Structure 1
Amino acid sequence: MPRVKSSDTAPKKAPVRKKTLTKTIHPKKKTKSILVDVIEDEALPSEKKLASDFLVESENKKKRKGMTSQAEKTTSEISSNLDRQKEFFSSLALKEKSTDNSNDGRGGKQDREAGKRSLGLYRRLAIKFIILVVALAVIVAYFSFSKLTVAVNLKGETISDTLLLKIFDPNNTEVPTVDDATDSITKTATATVSMLQNDPREPMAGNIKEIGTSVDKTYLATGETYLGEEVVGSVRIINNYNKSQPLVATTRLLSPDGKLFRIKNAVNVPAGGEVTVDIYTDKPAENMAISSTTFTIPGLWLGLQDKIYAKNDAPFTFTKKVQKYVTANDLEMAVKDIGENLIDNAKSKAGAGQNWLYLTLTSPVVNIDAKVGAKQEEFTAKASGKIVAVAVDVSEMSKLAAAKLNLIIPDDKELANFKGDNISYSLDNYDVASKTATVKASFSGTMILRSDAQVINPQQLVGLTDEQIRTYLNSRPELKEYTLKFSPAFMKKAPSLVDRIKIEVDKN
């Protein structure tokens, strides 16, 4: 007989009991005694309950009916027991079938639900796994492909310096003595070089020339005394008559618009000819400066006015009438200018091909043919003097200047832009006795960071955003300009790995 599982906890197994039923046969009937052994199988809790209920109900029936006789009782009991057993097992089979069907339905539903739960679990695990793989791929791609290139253009810093040179001419043998006045031995060019080696200023060989020159020049007086106003111009007196026509000074000339002018000098105009004469006006004013026109001569007979007349070919000019005189400033400027003219004259004598520096050895001797207050429009100045011309070796000077700048440049920088042609020179002094000149050279250059110097530390940029990087770079004074190139372009943040950051330096 099959066992039915119950959700309740199974009780302890009861021992198998054997019931012996004895059937008594009355003598009236010829029957045989039958011994029936009923072996009870281990009952499940539900079966026990069902059997218990059935037995209780049977006992109640027995009590109601009573036992009429022992044989009937025995026969009825046997029959009843058989019927009850049949009913018991039938009901038990139905119960088990019902229970099995119920369990099968619940089990199938539970299996389906369990399958659904398992499928959802697998789906969630798969989604999480995919998300994890994608995130890992993004992280790997970020570290593998993210890159930042910083291209910087360095800003040069100007550095300036000066150098004093002691210029000597190796070809010049006219050198003063080394010892005191009692020693009459003159120095040679080699002795001059030896002397210069003890001078704190930088010695340099060059060319030195002493040039004597003279010059004269005319200058205009700038002093003015106001005398009044005047209208200045000239006219042509035209005579188309068959006789000459004399005209006295102050003869009137009348313009078409009624302006009156006079001729300054007396003239005699020949027949069929013309004469040019200056004019003036009694009332000078700006409106009297008229353009070209034809004038009549009111003093002539009316019949001659169309034959003898005047005409101006150029406009008249209105001016203020002044008296020129020489001022003290005129003389000072003349002395200064005549000295510069002496140097210009010396330049033409020094010769071309070298960068000469000039200096007047002594104050030039200047002679001027006018004094302060002299009423004249111009005066003449003459001067003479001695000029020294010094030429510097530009190539050598360029090397010295570059070496001097390299000495004062910091260790982490280098000279980037220096041109010897831009050196400016000034001749400060000339020693006539030693025939040496002191020249001051002024020069400048541009210095930038050295090629092996670290302009930007990539470690400082790790993980910074675009704005943070720009703020950092803007604070660096040595940078002229810069550009940032992110890869990929949409990622505006520096990589987290320092080796993915590249610095490119442009020194041009």
Structure 2
Amino acid sequence: MKLVIYKLLALLAFASALGLGIITLHFTLSHAEVLITAREQGKTRQTEIILPITFANDENAETDEIKKLREKVLKDGDENAETGGYGAVAHTIPISIEAIIIPEGTGAELEDYATGAVTIISELPFAQSLVPKTRLLTPDGILFRTTNRVTVPSRGTVEVTVKADQKGKNGDITPTTFTIPGLSLERQKLVYGKSSEQFTGGARIVKIIASTDLERGNSEALAKLAEKAIQDFNERGIVITRNRIFLRDATFESDGKIGEEKEQFAVIASAQAYGVNFDEETVKDMTKTSFEADLPDGKDVLGYNDESFSYTIQEINPETNEVKIATEIEGFTTLDATKKIIDLKELAGLSANEIQTKLLTNEAIDAVEVRFSPFWVTRAPRIPEKIAITIKNAEEKF
């Protein structure tokens, strides 16, 4: 009996040792590998670049001295400036323009005299003269008069401008034929008129100027100022593009008032125009540096869409000799493979589906593949050190 008990105890001890060995082997061999494919993400970065600026006098065309100054500024910059050691040079001229604005608000309809062009046709064997204010009559009985003297050549034609005898929309006729009542009945059959286009002017709308019309007028005048600045700079031999123009101290004067009825009004605008030259590649590099500095931890730059780079002159300060340039560029980011994206403790003990679900909540992750080993393992080890994460970035396209 004792022998049987000893055998059972020995068997239990062996089973316990075997089970403990299997458990130890399981935890020793158990391993999880998580393969993450990062998603490429586009991001637009807007920033402000400040450069030291040197001002050139532009009373005349660009002189050799100014050219040398501009080249020196663009090449060397100001080594003591806090803007990265780069500079710009500005040319400045006063400009003024006049813009004619058509109100877009509601208004009153006013009657006027319609006008149009008529071709006088003669089948006579000799020339036929028509005095000013010769009457021309449509089949509907609408009367027009010529505005000047014409002579119709023998068996030929001549074009004449005619004006309605009465104000109103009735004069806005479609193409038609005309008789000339001042001629004899027989001659009216041989000398007559035809029109080929609609007559206009019988009624016109006089709009009421609204505040939005004045605002639009100032905006259109500002655009014309920039165009005039580019033209004037080019005439001085200084090539400047629109995004290098800055208009300072712009003023606007209008001969139209809110509530006034007018077909059109004028806006007189003036400003001091600055044309700024600087090294575009330098400003682009500074924008990229700002882009990278703004990235959150765990992100890396794949590349840039250089064609998206744009800039405008935002401000020029003659007192501090600085120019502020607003820039924008599109960059593409992905996960930084060297950075930790999740605490491994959060993945311990999870199934493959649970790991994928958890990681895919990160918008920077495109796909997740989970591999367990040995083959019988169905969950991640409880020990975080047994979980390995590998990040594969999106394919580089730049």
Residue matched to 1:207: 88
- Secondary structure of residue in 2 paired with 1:205: coil
TM-fit CA distance, 1:167: 1.1
**Equivalents in 2 of 1:472, 1:446: separation in Å?**
24
Asked if the contact 1:356/1:392 (under 8 Å) is kept, the reply is: no
TM-fit CA distance, 1:392: 3.6
Cα distance per residue 1:42-95 (max 9 Å; x no partner): xxxxxxxxxxxxxxxxxxxxxxxxxxxxxxxxxxxxxxxxxxxxxxxxxxxxxx
With structure 1 as the length reference, what TM-score do the two structures score?
A: 0.47
**Equivalents in 2 of 1:251, 1:354: separation in Å?**
56
Structure 2: which 5+ residue stretches go unaligned? Answer: 1-28, 57-72
- Distance change >3 Å, CA 269–CA 494, structure 1 → 2: farther
Cα distance per residue 1:90-118 (max 9 Å; x no partner): xxxxxxxxxxxxxxxxxxxxxxxxxxxxx
Q: How does 1:388-399 map to 2 (within 5 A)?
A: 388-399=274-285
Aligned with residue 173 of structure 2, among 289, 300, 303: 289
- Secondary structure of residue in 1 paired with 2:347: helix
Aligned with residue 144 of structure 2, among 262, 269, 289: 262
- Distance change >3 Å, CA 168–CA 280, structure 1 → 2: closer
**Equivalents in 2 of 1:486, 1:251: separation in Å?**
99
Asked if the contact 2:168/2:203 (under 8 Å) is kept, the reply is: no
Asked if the contact 2:352/2:370 (under 8 Å) is kept, the reply is: no
Q: How does 1:191-230 map to 2 (within 5 A)?
A: 196=80, 201-202=82-83, 204-212=85-93, 214=95, 217=97, 219-220=99-100, 222=102, 226-230=109-113
TM-fit CA distance, 1:333: 6.1
Aligned with residue 320 of structure 1, among 203, 223, 233: 203
- Secondary structure of residue in 1 paired with 2:338: coil
TM-fit CA distance, 1:320: 1.8
> Letter of the aligned partner of 2:37 in structure 1?
V
Residue matched to 1:357: 244
- Distance change >3 Å, CA 322–CA 465, structure 1 → 2: closer
Cα RMSD of the aligned pairs, angstroms, is 5.4
Equivalent pairs, count: 326
**Equivalents in 2 of 1:251, 1:159: separation in Å?**
69
- Secondary structure of residue in 1 paired with 2:186: coil
Asked if the contact 2:172/2:202 (under 8 Å) is kept, the reply is: no
> Letter of the aligned partner of 1:453 in structure 2?
K
2:116 aligned with 1:236, yes or no?
no
Q: Which has the higher contact order (CA 8 A, sep 6+)?
A: 2
**Equivalents in 2 of 1:267, 1:162: separation in Å?**
68
Residue matched to 1:422: 309
TM-fit CA distance, 1:437: 1.3
Aligned with residue 310 of structure 1, among 169, 187, 193: 193
**Equivalents in 2 of 1:163, 1:324: separation in Å?**
43
Q: How does 1:18-417 map to 2 (within 5 A)?
A: 150=35, 152-154=37-39, 156=41, 158=43, 160=45, 162-169=47-54, 196=80, 201-202=82-83, 204-212=85-93, 214=95, 217=97, 219-220=99-100, 222=102, 226-241=109-124, 244=128, 249=133, 251-255=135-139, 258-265=140-147, 267=149, 272=154, 274-277=157-160, 278-280=162-164, 282=166, 284-285=168-169, 289-291=173-175, 293-298=176-181, 300-317=183-200, 319-321=202-204, 329=214, 336-337=222-223, 339-345=225-231, 347-348=233-234, 349=236, 351-352=238-239, 357-360=244-247, 386-407=272-293, 409-417=295-303
Asked if the contact 1:221/1:324 (under 8 Å) is kept, the reply is: no
- Distance change >3 Å, CA 388–CA 295, structure 1 → 2: closer
2:335 aligned with 1:449, yes or no?
yes
**Equivalents in 2 of 1:205, 1:422: separation in Å?**
19
Please state which structure has a larger fraction of its residues in strand.
2
- Distance change >3 Å, CA 254–CA 286, structure 1 → 2: closer
Worse overlay, 326-335 or 239-248: 326-335
**Equivalents in 1 of 2:310, 2:153: separation in Å?**
75
- Secondary structure of residue in 2 paired with 1:422: strand
Aligned with residue 464 of structure 1, among 326, 351, 358: 351
- Distance change >3 Å, CA 234–CA 471, structure 1 → 2: same
TM-fit CA distance, 1:268: 6.7
- Secondary structure of residue in 1 paired with 2:359: helix
Please state which structure has a larger fraction of its residues in helix.
1
Asked if the contact 1:237/1:269 (under 8 Å) is kept, the reply is: no
Cα distance per residue 1:28-50 (max 9 Å; x no partner): xxxxxxxxxxxxxxxxxxxxxxx
**Equivalents in 1 of 2:269, 2:338: separation in Å?**
64
> Letter of the aligned partner of 2:111 in structure 1?
G
Aligned with residue 477 of structure 1, among 360, 363, 368: 363
Asked if the contact 1:463/1:494 (under 8 Å) is kept, the reply is: no
Structure 1: which 5+ residue stretches go unaligned? Answer: 1-143, 173-188
> Letter of the aligned partner of 1:154 in structure 2?
R
- Secondary structure of residue in 1 paired with 2:337: coil
Asked if the contact 1:219/1:380 (under 8 Å) is kept, the reply is: yes
> Letter of the aligned partner of 1:294 in structure 2?
T
Asked if the contact 2:110/2:206 (under 8 Å) is kept, the reply is: yes
Asked if the contact 2:111/2:169 (under 8 Å) is kept, the reply is: no
Asked if the contact 2:218/2:267 (under 8 Å) is kept, the reply is: no
TM-fit CA distance, 1:228: 0.5
> Letter of the aligned partner of 1:424 in structure 2?
Y
- Secondary structure of residue in 1 paired with 2:226: helix
> Letter of the aligned partner of 2:367 in structure 1?
Y
Residue matched to 1:70: none
Asked if the contact 2:209/2:256 (under 8 Å) is kept, the reply is: yes
2:388 aligned with 1:505, yes or no?
no
**Equivalents in 2 of 1:355, 1:375: separation in Å?**
33
TM-fit CA distance, 1:417: 3.7
Cα distance per residue 1:194-252 (max 9 Å; x no partner): 8x55xxx535332313333556x554363687530554322233333457465673624
- Distance change >3 Å, CA 239–CA 262, structure 1 → 2: same
Residue matched to 1:439: 324
